[in-house]
């Protein structure tokens, strides 16, 4: 069985989640999706419908995605 590369999965999920949060924050500047950004902002302090808030959300998304991807691949490798 092949093992998963922890760093590669962490980076790919980190980039994907970070980009998703960044894009969601930027789209909310148009007035669409403001409620969801405000809801997510209750968990991630600083994430709000603004350019700076979108960048902060992108960083939070990258960190969470990287940690999640790393843990998923580590657990997969451990149990396989």
pLDDT at 1: 79
pLDDT at 49: 96
Q: Structure pTM?
A: 0.91
Alpha-helical regions (H) of 1-80 = 6-27, 34-41, 51-79
Q: What confidence tens digit (pLDDT) does each residue in 6-55 have?
A: 999 999 999 999 999 999 999 999 999 999 999 999 999 999 999 999 99
- Give the integer Cα–Cα distance in Å for 76 and 20: 25
Integer angstrom CA distances of residue 26 from 10, 32, 52, 61, 76: 24, 10, 10, 14, 34
């Amino acid at each position: 069985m092949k093992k998963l590369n922890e760093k590669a999965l962490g980076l790919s999920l980190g980039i994907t989640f970070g980009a998703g949060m960044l894009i969601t924050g930027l789209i909310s500047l148009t007035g669409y999706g403001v409620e969801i950004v405000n809801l997510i902002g209750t968990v991630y302090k600083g994430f709000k419908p603004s350019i700076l808030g979108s960048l902060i959300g992108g960083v939070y998304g990258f960190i969470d995605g990287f940690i999640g991807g790393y843990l998923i691949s580590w657990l997969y490798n451990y149990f396989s």
